[in-house]
Structure formats: C-alpha cells, structure tokens
Structure 1
Amino acid sequence: MPDTTLLNSSVKIAALELRIELEAVAAEQRLAGQPHTGSATLGEFGGSEIGVWEMTPGAMSDVEADEIFVVLFGAGTVEFEETGETVLLAPGDVMRLRAGQRTVWTITQTLRKVYFA
C-alpha cells in the first residue's frame, strides 16, 4: 500500500503498476462469478479522496458514493438500477456517480480506475 501522503508532495505514482490487495466480494453483493475488489487511497485534494480501485471479472451490486472516475484498463459495464441504463466502460472513459445510486457492475476484463470521491 502506498504512503497516502504521496499526492501531497511532488512524487509520481504509477497507477497502472500499483499493487492493490484484492478481497472476494461479499456474498450479499456478488451476482455472478467470483469477483474480487480492492482499493488504495492515494491522498486528498480539495476535500476529495483520491484513490485507485480494481475489480476482477464477475458481477456485483453496489450503492455509490459521490465520485468521478477515469478507467485506466479493463472492460465492463455499470448498470443503474433506477433507470435501467447500462454504460459500457473502457480505458480512458470518465464517469460521474452520484451518492445513493444503486448499480450493478459487470466486469469482463479486470478493470482499474482512478477515483475522486
């Protein structure tokens, strides 16, 4: 796990190579496969937490925090239960999530994102 003060200095963080410890998704959230998730908090900026999150293939439900993220690698979808809208995710995509949204993440290739929450 990186030193969470790194982003408060002039040090580069290689988000693509960052080692993230993954844990199995809790049974009550797991919808398909055997997905694992993990994150590393990198620091804070303007009152927002900045970190890196990863999920392996499978599907899980979640309730979102207020967040903006950028996909670094991987592929999948995020479905919004309230509207039924499904958004494809690929490297370079930037997306906004709003606190309280109920989602289903279906990951087909291990996905990593940098988030601001």
Structure 2
Amino acid sequence: MTGWKALAPGVPVDLSALPLDQDHEAVPDGQLGSPGTTTAARPLGSAAGLDEAGVWEMSVGVMTDTEADELFLVVAGEGTVEFLDPDLPAAELRPGTLMRLAQGMQTRWTVRRPLRKLYLA
C-alpha cells in the first residue's frame, strides 16, 4: 500500500517529524527571491475526490509562486504569504493557520522559520 492508505487507521501522525520522500531542492530561478531557499514535499495520495494531498516544506528564505487550488494547514514554522495578484492583505503563517489558495493566485512566501504544511488539492 502506498500514499495515505498506508497510514494506520486511528493512529496519529506527527507531521512535523514526518520524513520527506526527497531532499530539499533549490527553488527554480524564476521563483527565487533569496539565495539558498529550498523546498521539499511528500505526497500522501488522493482521497475523497482530491487530486493530491501531501506535506510541503520550505526553508528560511523568500520565493514567488503561482498557486494551484489548494487548502493547507500549517503544522510547523513561521512566515508570511503576500498576495501579488489578486491584491489581498498579507497573511501571517504559524502552526494552526488554515488557508485556501485559488488557482492562478500570484504569491510571495517569506519564511522566517522552516515552514511545513499539510496540503489538499
């Protein structure tokens, strides 16, 4: 079994300690806002009609991104997401922050402490 079905029913998972399937990789040049920023992810599989679910992590740094339609919950770290398009107020990110992003949003992520989130897309 792979993905989320490999998780034992009724057994809690500490997402802040979950190992990622890959090492952190440099953010592509077109997205990079500060040297040395990296990200990594661990897909958890699809469930309940979702195309994708997983854990995403970003190192301390800055990057821009074009978002997918996604719901996420921050489980560790600290940062800010700014909305470049549409023009919305910046949002502070910390453990417990739940947020939805819409397809095509243009964002800038500033991470002060390595940020880890559970995402559903």
Global fold match (TM > 0.5): yes
Structure 1 residue runs of 5 or longer lacking an equivalent are none
Which consecutive segments of 4 or more residues in structure 1 shift more than 6 A?
none
Q: 1:7 to 1:75 in 2, by over 3 A?
A: same
Comparing both structures, which one devotes a greater share of its residues to strand? Answer: 1
How many residue pairs were aligned?
116
Alignment partners' CA distance in 2, 1:90 and 1:32: 21
The match for 2:28 is 26
Q: How does 1:63-74 map to 2 (within 5 A)?
A: 63-74=66-77
Query: 1:33: Cα distance to partner?
Result: 3.5
SS in structure 1 at match of 2:9: coil
SS in structure 1 at match of 2:46: strand
TM-score when scaled to structure 2?
Answer: 0.86
Structure 2 residue runs of 5 or longer lacking an equivalent are none
SS in structure 1 at match of 2:33: strand
> Could you tell which deviates more after superposition, 62-71 or 45-54?
45-54
TM-score when scaled to structure 1?
Answer: 0.89
The match for 1:76 is 79
Alignment partners' CA distance in 2, 1:5 and 1:11: 12
Matched-pair identity in %: 39
